[in-house]
Amino acid sequence: MTDIKVAVIGVGNVGTTFVQGVDYYRSGKNTVGLWHQKVAGLKPANVKVVAAFDIDPAKVGKNLSQVAGVSTKEYQDMKDSKITVNPGIMAEGNGKIERPVKASPAEFAKELEKSGAQVVLNLISSGMDRTSLEYARATLAARASFVNATPSKVAQNPALAKKFAVRRLVLAGDDLLSQFGGTAVHKGMIDFMVERGVHVKKSYQLDVGGSAETKNTMNEHIRMLKRDMKTDSIGMEAPYKFESVAGTTEYTDFLGDSRNSYYWMSSEGFLGSNIVMDLTLRTSDGANAGNVLLDVVRAASAKKVTASKASEVISAYGFKSPSKQFKIREAYSNFVDMFA
């Protein structure tokens, strides 16, 4: 079976962890931690990273394997990848990076076509909405599928989605739902409580992390955008309305790639008796994204599914804010039925 050629935009924490994961699981010797060994008939060994893009001068022009060992925890001792990090698009200012190395959308599309990439992962920082749209349009021009892991409304753009569907390309997103992250666990707990006949009254989720993305989320506009996305996603798990708030609350540098999520859920049981839960979850942001990205990349390459239907099912499975929302169990079931 032929390789799925993937391009990674943004070689930060999540991007470099994904690259290490692809390298680690390629041999098939160790499957511990791997969620799905096959998706759409494809194994991790079928996934091949062929291009990488960034705007950070500390990364552009360097070997991808070299950058992967610096940008995040080194899970896998990677050999020379033979991939050089190329300049990326930047459509708005980014004061966090001095002297960014930029490429035009046309230059990006040309490099993408040259690499032969079939699926493009957009893993850039939150808040760069115009940049994400430019990446999506340039990817469309290069005739590749696009996966938007950021909160920017890309997959939810009807006009853009239609253009991808016409070219039989997948457009999936928006805002990645990690495998066992804060939102997924919160959704799962609400679903379980409802199934057990417990009436949910109130819930909140507080996230504290130390990654660059968490730091970026401290911007008030981005913080509120992600809070609204998370809260809406969680609220749909119950067939009635209840008070709920979820979002990133603090950046703590010494946590690094780690994220601590704190949950409080108040509900009523038999005769109105109180049932209250306090939970704490500790995870690693980069690794928590890896399995979902690996699944999405393989699903986006499925041959026997229409692009528009694949986009809908993939988005509901792997993202907090898809164009069409499903409850977490239904989204997972639809994904397995279509791609397992």
Residue among 287, 333, 315, 329 nearest 19 (CA): 287
Burial profile 174-197: b = 16 or more Cβ within 10 angstroms, e = fewer: bbbbbbebbbbbbbbbbbebbeee
For residue 221, is pLDDT > 90? no
Q: Quote the pLDDT of residue 101.
A: 94
In the chain, pLDDT over 70 holds for what percent of residues?
A: 98
DSSP tag of 39: B
The CATH superfamily label for domain 182-284 reads Dihydrodipicolinate Reductase; domain 2 (3.30.360.10)
Sort 281 into a burial class: Cβ within 10 Å, 0-12 / 13-18 / 19+. middle
Which residue intervals of the chain are DSSP H helices?
13-25, 64-71, 105-115, 129-141, 158-166, 182-195, 212-216, 220-235, 285-299, 307-318, 328-339
Tokens linked to 94: 């980014």
- pLDDT tens digits along 34-78: 999 999 999 999 999 999 999 999 999 999 988 886 756 778 777
CA–CA separation, 267 and 247 (whole Å): 20
Determine the pLDDT at residue 227. Answer: 86
226-230, 247-251, 303-307: which is most confident: 303-307
pLDDT category of residue 94 using cuts at 50, 70 and 90: low
**Average pLDDT over the chain, rounded to an integer:** 93
Nearest Cα neighbor of 135 from 167, 67, 87, 71 is 87
Q: What pLDDT sits at residue 95?
A: 62
- pLDDT, residue 315, reads 98
DSSP of 224-265, one letter per residue?
Answer: HHHHHHHHHHHHTTSSS--EEEEEEEEE-GGGTTEEEEEEEE
Q: Tell me, what's the pLDDT at 2?
A: 82
Mean pLDDT of 320-334: 96
Residues composing the chain? 340
The domain spans of the chain are 4-177+287-339, 182-284
CATH 3.40.50.620: does it fit domain 4-177+287-339?
no
Domain pair 4-177+287-339 / 182-284, same fold: no
Cis before 295 (ω within 30): no
Tokens of 301: 């390459």
Find the mean pLDDT for residues 239-254. 91
For the stretch 139-170, pLDDT in tens is: 999 999 999 999 999 999 999 999 999 999 99
Q: What is the pLDDT of residue 289?
A: 96
Assess contact for 157 and 132: CB atoms under 8 A.
Answer: no
Mean pLDDT of 8-35: 92
What pTM, to 2 d.p., does this model score?
0.93
Q: Identify the CA nearest to 132 among candidates 166, 108, 98.
A: 108
Q: What pLDDT digit, counting tens, does each position of 96-111 carry? A: 788 999 999 999 999 9
- Write out the two tokens for 193: 């409580």
Banded model confidence at residue 257, pLDDT cuts 50, 70, 90: confident
Query: What's the Rg (C-alpha) of the chain?
Result: 20
Residue 107 near residue 134 (C-beta atoms within 8 A): no
